[in-house]
Amino acid sequence: MRSQRRALLRTILGSFIMHEKISTTEAKAKEVKMLIDRLINKAKKAQDETKKVAIIRDLRIALPAMAVKKLSGEFIKRFANRNSGYARVIKLAPRKSDNAKVAIVELVD
């Protein structure tokens, strides 16, 4: 069960980083928001050359390769002046099919 959850979050995080906005359930959205803050802060620490190899290796375990490339390049420049709060969760109306609480997670500019 735990490995399935980890794989689901890895896929959601990869999609979120590549598209910068996703729609999912509220519970997953809150978890993605928390994890993306941690990952961006970790990528910002990778600017230090002594820690770079280890941090990039850790990010590759948690994310697909293209997402790591975008995270360690574009996002570091984009969020250089910000310490946290890189994403926001916007709650939407419940889904009609199963009445699940839905939310959008998007990056803050």
User: Contact at 8 Å (CB) between 108 and 86?
Assistant: yes
Give the model's pLDDT for residue 60: 86
Angle 93-23-3 (CA atoms, 0-180°, nearest 5)? Answer: 120
By residue range, what is the domain housing residue 62? 2-107
The whole-model pTM stands at 0.86
Total tally of structural domains belonging to the chain: 1
Q: What φ, ψ does residue 5 adopt, rounded to 5°?
A: -65, -40
For 24-81, write each residue's pLDDT tens digit. Answer: 999 999 999 999 999 899 888 887 777 778 888 888 888 888 998 898 888 888 998 9
CATH at residue 73: 3.90.1030.10
Closest CA to 80 of 43, 28, 106, 30: 43
Torsion of CA 106, 84, 93, 4, to 10 degrees: 80
